């Protein structure tokens, strides 16, 4: 595991102003995670992102956002949250305390657990994870960035740029999590949205509410299926039925109904 310490040279790290505006405009909507991925992809070829809220007491972290080029990103985020976060080498940094405003590289060779290394690195073909950490009261927020082996590891200059831009993004990610109640660990983020759906959209069935709540907080069909113990195709069916009942066709319209 390697720590990235140097600041990026002035001007090189800044994303295009239009990309930055797109991130701010998408704050609090399901388009927020894709907007961040788009900007980071344009900046340094980032191909998948996760953000988690970690707590001091070691309970399951909350997924604040996940996005990737393929449909498996949500499933990987959920697998990490449920099964692998306690095996992450980053935990050594968390336990050490102190100044956690850090950026760290985690490569496959740093992962001792075979299943974790297989599911989160080998299968998706990721060559390394670049994680930016932000301390907070009672825990930390982490933003992790991935790139496939075909693109190679992040260069030192790219890592420095991403460190600087990532530290600017983390407060926005935390605000996004608060908008959806996703800054609380475990399933409470989805539960908060489900409660709002129950109040505002009483025509929905319990399963439709569960699927819609997880859609709004940015989970993919695969990730929702893993969380609820149903097939991704069933997730799509429940979501389609819910949208028909509500007279909408997109997750953005659903979020607008709930939060605007």
pLDDT at 182 (0 to 100): 59
Per-residue model confidence as pLDDT tens digits over 101-119: 689 999 999 999 999 999 8
Confidence of residue 99 (pLDDT cuts 50, 70, 90): low
Report the distance separating Cα 201 and Cα 29, nearest Å.
18
Domains of the chain, start order: 2-179 (3.30.450.80), 188-259 (1.10.10)
For range 239-248, the mean pLDDT: 95
Report the distance separating Cα 6 and Cα 203, nearest Å.
54
Report the distance separating Cα 161 and Cα 225, nearest Å.
35
Biggest CA-to-CA distance, the chain = 54
Query: 127: part of which helix (H) or strand (E)?
Result: strand 126-136
Q: Bridge-partner residues for 147, per DSSP?
A: 128
What pTM does this model have? Answer: 0.70
Residue 86 has pLDDT above 50, yes or no: yes
pLDDT at 188 (0 to 100): 43
Per-residue model confidence as pLDDT tens digits over 147-181: 988 888 999 999 988 998 998 899 999 988 887 66
CA 79: distance to chain centroid?
A: 12
Angstrom CA distances, 240 to 26, 187, 235, stand at 23, 23, 9
Report the distance separating Cα 113 and Cα 83, nearest Å.
11
pLDDT at 12 (0 to 100): 43
Confidence of residue 15 (pLDDT cuts 50, 70, 90): low
Confidence of residue 138 (pLDDT cuts 50, 70, 90): confident
pLDDT at 71 (0 to 100): 63
Angstrom CA distances, 26 to 20, 71, 77, 81, 243, stand at 10, 20, 21, 25, 21
Residue 201 has pLDDT above 50, yes or no: yes
Confidence of residue 88 (pLDDT cuts 50, 70, 90): very high
pLDDT at 11 (0 to 100): 46
Tokens of 135: 């301390």
Residue 6 has pLDDT above 70, yes or no: no
Strand bridging mode 139-148 / 62-68: unpaired
pLDDT at 98 (0 to 100): 59
């Amino acid at each position: 595991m390697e720590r990235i310490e140097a600041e990026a040279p002035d001007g090189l790290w800044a994303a295009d102003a239009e990309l930055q505006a797109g991130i701010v405009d998408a704050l609090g909507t399901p388009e927020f995670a894709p907007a961040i991925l788009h900007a980071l992809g344009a900046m340094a070829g980032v191909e998948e992102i996760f953000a988690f809220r970690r707590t001091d007491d070691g309970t399951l972290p909350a997924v604040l956002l996940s996005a990737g080029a393929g449909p498996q990103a949500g499933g990987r985020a959920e697998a990490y949250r449920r099964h692998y976060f306690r095996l992450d080498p980053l935990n050594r940094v968390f336990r050490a305390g102190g100044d956690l405003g850090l950026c760290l590289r985690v490569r496959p060779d740093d992962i001792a657990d075979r299943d974790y290394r297989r599911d989160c690195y080998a299968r998706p073909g990721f060559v390394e994870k670049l994680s930016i950490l932000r301390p907070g009261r009672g825990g930390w927020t982490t933003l992790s960035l991935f790139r496939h082996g075909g693109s190679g590891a992040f260069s030192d200059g790219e890592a420095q740029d991403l460190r600087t831009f990532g530290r600017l993004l983390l407060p926005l990610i935390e605000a996004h999590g608060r908008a959806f109640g996703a800054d609380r660990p475990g399933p409470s983020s989805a539960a908060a949205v489900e409660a709002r759906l129950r109040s505002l959209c009483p025509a929905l069935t319990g399963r439709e509410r569960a699927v819609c709540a997880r859609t709004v907080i940015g989970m993919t069909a695969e990730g929702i299926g893993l969380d609820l113990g149903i097939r991704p195709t069933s997730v799509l069916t429940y979501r389609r039925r819910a949208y028909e009942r509500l007279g909408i066709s997109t997750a953005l319209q659903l979020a607008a109904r709930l939060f605007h």
